[in-house]
Amino acid sequence: MAKRALEGLRDGLAATADALMRAVSALARFAGRILGALHALYVRVIAPLLGRVKALIERVYRIVDRVLRPVLLAIRRLQEEIRRMYDAYFRPIVLVIERLRRALYILRLLRVKFAEDLDRKLVELQRRIMEPLYIALERIGYLDRWINVILDSRLLIQEPVWMRSVIDYGDQSDTPRKAGGLMSWTASKAVGPRV
């Protein structure tokens, strides 16, 4: 009887061990299939997509290096040259005009007629001297600000500009935006509709 009980216990343990082995084997096959699917997904989808994104990033940076960086550096050199020209030629004239206006101020307080007329003419002269510089710096600054929208202080593309470029142009070859590619769909939900 004890022998039969031991044999029954042994058979039960063997059946349990067999069931556990079958379960572990099934889990291992399932995990293998999942890993195989993940590998196939990486090889067929993710790696080519990453390659395209890398190529797009390199292309954009080549354009920035070839076009925008030299333009930005030229703008900054031009701004410095205008400031040097102002300091060397125009500032001494403006300082003389300001000193004359301070001296005329006393005469204007005494209501001397020619002092007011002369002061008005000096103000007009100062405006005519400074206006071309202001216009030049304003126009150059306008262009500089637009480039600063695109590039950051390290002369790298600003993240919002880069992301919008990837969203708008990165998936044109296979899944155009109008066809509702995944990248354009998710981007339009995150950024808003294309204008």
Contact (CB, 8 A) for 184 and 177:
yes
Q: What is the pLDDT of residues 2-21, one digit of tens each?
A: 778 778 888 888 889 889 89
Residue 157: strand pairing partners: 151
Length of the chain: 195
**Tokens matching residue 49:** 């997509």
Packed helices 159-169 and 182-191: angle between N→C axes, nearest 10 degrees: 140
Q: What is the pLDDT of residues 49-103, one digit of tens each?
A: 888 888 888 887 787 778 777 888 888 899 899 889 999 999 999 999 999 999 9
Contact (CB, 8 A) for 133 and 86:
yes
Element at 133 (helix H, strand E): helix 113-150
Element at 63 (helix H, strand E): helix 47-63
